Amino acid sequence: MLELNGIRKSFGRIEVLHGVDMEVRAGEVHALLGENGAGKSTLMKILCGIIQPSEGTIRIEGTARHFADYDQAIAAGIGIVFQEFSLIPWLDAVENMFLAREMRGPLGMLDRKAMRARAAGIMRQLAVDVALDVPVHRLSVAEQQFVEIAKALSLNARILVLDEPTATLTPSEVEHLFKVMRELRKQGVAIIFISHHLEEIFQICDRITVLRDGEFVGSCAVSEVDNDRLVEMMVGRRIEQSFPPKPAPSATPVVVEVEEVQLKKGGPVSRFQLRKGEILGFAGLVGSGRTETVLAMLGAYPAQRCKVKVDGIEKRFRGPDEGLAHGIGLLPESRKEQGLITSFSILQNISLNNYGKYRKNHWFIDLKKELAATETAMAQVRVKAQGPLARVDTLSGGNQQKVVIARWLNHDMQVLIFDEPTRGIDVGAKAEIYALMREFTARGGAIIMISSELPEVIGMSDRVCVFRSGGIVATVEGGQIDSETIMTHATTGRVDHVA
């Protein structure tokens, strides 16, 4: 159905795509894989007419096509669901689906009834039950995802691009999305699926195309490769061990003790300790209270009760800034919205909240000192960029996360809280982030790691607090840190031990 031949793209004198080929058949789910910065998004934007290729040909059903803009690509049957949703929060699903192409009656009046009927028909086709008449900001992330897919199908898309569609979904929501994708595959829709979760590729995809540094590495059937081979194709080398070795258990001092935290009146009371040199994992289903608990600890979430000690001294934080003053840094789940100012430079982001360190006198900043400290921090976490003055929004997801880590290391933090540390990050960058986390704890730092990825929790945590219904129901360590034990606690709430 779709052929991309010899696609090249240059921005100025820099070529980012070097003659990429890709073929997608009708009625298949085709994975497009590669590290952040490999050229996946650029290639898809060329397919959708959002940017223009420097060279190369796009063919649909054997006919060469050129799309001057996204509207022309839509008319040719191409739809894309971006990782960052394009929905308008205060409009309902029907209004979002038909925005700027509303159906009208004979007198030019808006035909709301016809649009709703068409929207309901598409939702039935997808076998999903989404409220059509409420603002989409009131829908769950998964429901918003289905509205985006329905919007693309309302354009009669025969080629559907899904960019990281599972990044913010729960396991049950992912499975439902896969059911929808299988149904679309039966209907002959060609789906291009972009994901960093390699286990998903083996669950849902038929064939794979891999890019590396803007180069076409190869295409093959899913049945012809295994996980290790895919990683090698993506990063150019074998990653024998994604997770660094764990240190031997030892009795280290407690740096943070939460004697009690109760998120809601009548709800469970949680208690936990964080020790020097350890990674304490927070596991549980989405909505189980993991993030809310650490935010309550820092005074950023209204808890019913909260009692915290830092180095044995009771503290009552009124916000993350006070936690920062006591050596506790927070790396939020949404690094683009909460962790970084993406239009600022790397230097400005690393220096953020820490300019007192560079003050010459009451009025002036020592720019040479700031630059030297930034370069040291960048080197420490191995940020790949043109230099300290590069804008953060030009970096890959992995390098953006490294900038957040560099900022807190520049602050000389003793405790780091990572909320979904590798979400949206490719396998090569994940291994680097994991190494940085272990380097931090080896120097005596301590980490709380909130993660929805069980392999990450198991591979990185020295101990794991399992959450359910707003509180900790178990703390496991050693040989108990396995998927069956963690998921049993997370789904049944059986309490063994809370530390």
Residue range 3-27, pLDDT digits in tens? 999 999 998 877 889 999 999 999 9
pLDDT score of 217: 93
Asked if residue 97 lies in contact with residue 133, where contact means CB atoms within 8 angstroms, the answer is no
Residue 54 β-bridge partners:
none
Is the pLDDT at 343 greater than 70, yes or no? yes
What's the Rg (C-alpha) of the chain?
24
Between CA 149 and CA 188 the distance in angstroms is 15
For residue 177, the tally of other CB atoms under 10 A from its CB is: 22
pLDDT score of 497: 43
pLDDT score of 231: 81
CA within 13 Å, CB half, 228: 4
Specify the 3-state DSSP secondary structure of 155. coil
Look up the pTM and report it: 0.66
Report how far apart, in Å, the C-alpha atoms of 244 and of each of 209, 239, 450, 451 are: 29, 11, 18, 17
Which tokens in the block code for residue 172?
């049950």
- What is the average per-residue pLDDT within 158-183? 84
Between CA 477 and CA 211 the distance in angstroms is 39
Specify the 3-state DSSP secondary structure of 40. helix
Between CA 463 and CA 407 the distance in angstroms is 26
pLDDT band (50, 70, 90) for residue 493: low
| Amino acid symbol at 185 | R
Q: Which helix (H) or strand (E) holds 364?
A: none
Evaluated on CA atoms 246, 252, 256, 257, the torsion sign reads positive
For residue 271, the tally of other CB atoms under 10 A from its CB is: 16
**Beta-strand relationship, 269-275 and 279-283:** unpaired
pLDDT band (50, 70, 90) for residue 481: very high
Is the pLDDT at 322 greater than 80, yes or no? yes
More confident residue, 163 or 173: 163
The contacts of residue 45 (CB under 8 Å, 6+ apart) are 51
pLDDT score of 499: 45
| pLDDT per position as a tens digit, 236-295 | 766 555 789 999 888 899 999 999 999 998 899 999 999 999 999 999 877 788 999 999
pLDDT score of 494: 52
pLDDT score of 297: 94
For residue 250, the tally of other CB atoms under 10 A from its CB is: 10
For the chain, how many residues are written?
499
Between CA 380 and CA 443 the distance in angstroms is 13
Is the pLDDT at 34 greater than 90, yes or no? no
DSSP letter (8 states) at residue 213: T
pLDDT band (50, 70, 90) for residue 134: very high
pLDDT score of 338: 75
Token look-up 């044995």 returns 312
Between CA 404 and CA 35 the distance in angstroms is 19
| Amino acid symbol at 158 | R
Between CA 246 and CA 308 the distance in angstroms is 27
Asked if residue 477 lies in contact with residue 464, where contact means CB atoms within 8 angstroms, the answer is yes
Is the pLDDT at 496 greater than 80, yes or no? no
Q: Which domains does the chain have, with CATH numbers?
A: 2-235 (3.40.50.300), 254-492 (3.40.50.300)
| pLDDT per position as a tens digit, 92-121 | 999 999 988 888 988 888 899 999 999 999
More confident residue, 254 or 151: 254
Residue 4 β-bridge partners:
22, 58
Which tokens in the block code for residue 496?
């063994």
The contacts of residue 12 (CB under 8 Å, 6+ apart) are none
Residue 218 β-bridge partners:
210
pLDDT band (50, 70, 90) for residue 204: very high
Report how far apart, in Å, the C-alpha atoms of 370 and of each of 351, 364, 367, 377, 403 are: 7, 12, 5, 11, 15
Between CA 217 and CA 233 the distance in angstroms is 7
pLDDT band (50, 70, 90) for residue 86: confident
Report how far apart, in Å, the C-alpha atoms of 423 and of each of 57, 60, 89, 342, 452 are: 34, 33, 23, 17, 9
Is the pLDDT at 342 greater than 80, yes or no? yes
| pLDDT per position as a tens digit, 384-412 | 888 899 998 888 777 888 888 888 887 87
Is the pLDDT at 353 greater than 80, yes or no? no
| Amino acid symbol at 441 | T
